[in-house]
Amino acid sequence: MIIVVGDTRIYRFPNSTIAVEIYNDRAEILVLPDKRKFILWGKRVKLAHLQEGYPGRTPQNILTTIVANALRNGFLQVDEEI
């Protein structure tokens, strides 16, 4: 299940919940119940390059899609744990 509130996405899985805050250049990812927090930087995925192919989409839209697809596929590569 996905819950969308503003720039926040909540992904519910059988054993965990993942909350994602989307900003212009990064996504902050909180994994519950572990309470681990990670950052995915948009610079790494080259948002400007991706926007060229989708001129109507914002960096937030692109990051949201990247995170959602990665979670659906079972693999999300993050940049750092905070």
Across the chain, mean pLDDT equals 85
User: Is it true that the peptide bond before 55 is cis, omega within 30 degrees of 0?
Assistant: no
pTM assigned to the model: 0.79
Under a CB-based contact definition with an 8 Å cutoff, are residues 59 and 24 in contact? Answer: yes
Q: Would you call 34 exposed, middle or buried from its count of C-beta atoms within 10 A (0-12, 13-18, 19+)?
A: exposed
Q: Which residue has the higher pLDDT, 7 or 20?
A: 20
Hey, where are the domains in the chain?
2-81
> What pLDDT digit, counting tens, does each position of 23-42 carry?
888 899 999 999 999 998 87
Phi (first) and psi of residue 15, to 5 degrees: -110, 0
- Output the pLDDT for position 18: 93
Cα 54 from chain centre: 18
Mean pLDDT of 46-58: 76
Alpha helices (H) in 1-82, listed in sequence order: 47-53, 59-73
* Residue 4's pLDDT band (cuts 50, 70, 90): confident
